[in-house]
Amino acid sequence: MRVVRSATDLRLEGSVGLVPTMGAFHEGHLSLFRAARAENDTVVVSLFLNAAQFGPGEDLERYPRDDERDARLAEQEGVDVLFAPAADEIYPPGFQTWVEVEELGSILEGEHRPGHFRAVATVCLKLFNLVHPDRAYFGQKDAQQAEVVKRMVGDLAVPVEIRVCPTQRDEDGLALSSRNAYLSAEERERALALPRALQAQDRSLLNGLKVDYFEVANFEPRVLAAAVRVGGTRLIDNVILEGDNR
Ligand code: AMP
């Protein structure tokens, strides 16, 4: 596996699959690497902690980072190129162009994290323009993110196919997330209410947690999506609604 710091050194061959990430890899990330590996000649994983998509007071400073472990895991999964650009390659001096997915980007997560999806859509378009992937891979765990990216790609005729892969969960049902590392044992136990409430479609199971939203979203596929706070940690999850399973 090559670790590449600048897009000028990418030199990719054949069909290219891109998996955009912010690092701190877990089985959710690895499942995307495998999906990309199965469908493309060359697999590129981007590792870029996109500060712009964190709001003031969010967890940017404490977001888990372990570049060496990430490189080792990516290599084990057969990733060809780990693309870890510097911040000023993504946002060059004088940067002032942003992609706004107006409606989809302002509901649910967007309502609670103003500016989040504008930064997500912008970094994804930038990565697509640097890497020129044939396919890009996203997790159903972040259903609204996948929907925003699909909308942007359709609206702006970006020549990339978007693949959305199933949510990976721990044995106890909690969706894997880099942010699970923040949870104490006691908080993790309380966090299990999130997958349980979604599975049962019963908001009352979240009593005692601070709920940002628990709502059906008319995405493709339709989901019941929720965000909760457990102590100082904000968690999101969703389930695909019956009859919409692909
Ligand atoms: P992140 O590094 O958190 O930005 O995530 C990178 C990609 O991995 C995104 O497309 C996420 O939706 C996806 N992802 C994160 N957690 C999971 C999970 N538990 N199952 C499947 N995909 C996931």
Q: From the CA of 31, how far away is ligand 1's center (Å)? A: 9
Ligand 1 centroid–CA 28 distance in Å is 6
Residue among 137, 141, 153 to mutate when testing ligand 1 (max atoms within 8 A of CB): 141
* CB 140 within 8 Å of CB 164: yes
**Mind listing the pLDDT tens digit for each residue in 142-194?**
999 999 999 999 999 999 999 999 999 999 999 999 999 999 999 999 999 99
Helix (H, G, I), strand (E, B) or coil at 230: strand
Would the pLDDT of 127 be above 90?
yes
| pLDDT above 60 (res 246) | no
Of residues 243 and 45, which shows the higher confidence score? 45
Does the pLDDT value for residue 239 go beyond 80? yes
Among the atoms of ligand 1, which is closest to the Cα of residue 138? 10
CATH number of 2-165: 3.40.50.1980, 3.40.50.620, 3.30.1360.120, 3.30.43.10?
Answer: 3.40.50.620
**Predicted pLDDT of residue 242:** 76
Query: What is the spatial distance between Cα 237 and Cα 121, in angstroms, rounded to a whole number?
Result: 20
Instruction: Calculate the alpha carbon distances from 116 to 56, 99, 144 in Å.
Output: 11, 11, 11
Mean pLDDT of 99-125: 98
pLDDT at 184: 98
- pLDDT, average across residues 105-117: 98
Per-residue pLDDT tens digits for 28-84: 999 999 999 999 999 999 999 999 999 999 999 999 999 999 999 999 999 999 999
pLDDT digits (tens, 9 = 90+) for 169-183: 999 999 999 999 999
Would you say the CATH fold of 178-237 matches that of 2-165? no
Q: Whose CA is nearest to atom 14 of ligand 1?
A: 139
Residue 198 has pLDDT above 90, yes or no: yes
CATH fold of 178-237, please?
A: Pantoate--beta-alanine Ligase; Chain: A,domain 2 (3.30.1300)
Q: How far is the CA of 46 from the centre of ligand 1 (A)?
A: 12
Pick the closest to residue 177 from 59, 15, 27, 5 (CA basis). 27
Domain coordinates in residue numbering, the chain: 2-165, 178-237
Q: With 90 as the cut, is the pLDDT of residue 243 above it?
A: no
Give the whole-angstrom CA distance, residue 108 versus residue 192.
21
The string of DSSP letters for 191-208 reads HTHHHHHHHHT-GGGGTT
Ligand 1: which atom is nearest the Cα of residue 23?
A: 2
Using DSSP, state whether 188 is helix, strand or coil.
Answer: helix
User: What pLDDT, on a 0 to 100 scale, did the predictor assign at position 180?
Assistant: 97
- For the question of residue 112 being annotated catalytic, the response is no
Q: What pLDDT is recorded for position 244?
A: 55
Which atom of ligand 1 is found nearest the CA of 177?
Answer: 16
Decide if pLDDT at 245 tops 80. no
Distance 43 CA to ligand 1 centre (A): 16
Most ligand 1 atoms within 8 A of CB, residue of 50, 63, 142, 170 to mutate: 142
Residues 5-42 pLDDT 10s = 999 999 999 999 999 999 999 999 999 999 999 999 99
**Residue in 26, 29, 112, 132 annotated catalytic:** 29
Mean pLDDT score, 103-117: 98
In whole angstroms, what is the distance from residue 174 CA to residue 178 CA? 12
Check if the beta carbon of residue 131 is closer than 8 Å to that of residue 12.
yes
Is the CB of residue 68 less than 8 Å from the CB of residue 75?
no
pLDDT class for 121, splitting at 50, 70, 90?
A: very high
Measured in angstroms, how far is the CA atom of residue 209 from the centroid of ligand 1? 23
Q: Which residues lie with the beta carbon below 6 Å from any ligand 1 atom?
A: 21-22, 28-29, 31-32, 138-139, 141-142, 165, 167-168, 175-178
> Is 0.85 surpassed by the pTM of this model?
yes
Residue 196 has pLDDT above 80, yes or no: yes
Contact 169, 196 (CB under 8 A): no
